[in-house]
Amino acid sequence: MATFHGIRAAVPLLRASGGGSIVNMASVSGVRPTRGEGPYSAAKAGVIAAVAVAALEYGPDIRVNCVSPGFVRTPLNAMLADDPVVVSEIATGNTARACRTARRGGAVVAFLLSRPQRPT
């Protein structure tokens, strides 16, 4: 529900300012779930669908995207991220062939939020 409420709150403000961008966080689990994450995967699939609908309804003045990262190395999962066997399994299952970092994900979000300059 947070995605829905966040978009609903942002749209009037963005419209009043002439447009802008919204980026939500989903997860690769929303399109490729793994065992034991049914509720999480369903919630992230809902985020992906809500973002797709919002992009259709509010574009082109408001761009709406979501980022769906795979495993991201954080202090919370350091014990997994530091285990070479786990890292090897994660790297085998994703296109980047590595564990991502929050900084790298932040760069993707910053890019999606950036507003291209319009020709004068």
Written as one letter, the residue type at 69 is P
Q: How far apart are CA 110 and CA 95, in angstroms?
A: 21
Two structure tokens written together for 83: 């285990």
Kindly name the residue from 10, 19, 33, 40 that is annotated as catalytic.
40
Q: How far apart are CA 74 and CA 25, in angstroms?
A: 16
63 contacts 54 by C-beta, under 8 angstroms: no
Question: How many degrees, rounded to 5, is the angle at CA 115 between CA 29 and CA 52?
Answer: 35
Annotation marks residue 40 as catalytic: yes
| Active-site amino acid positions | 40
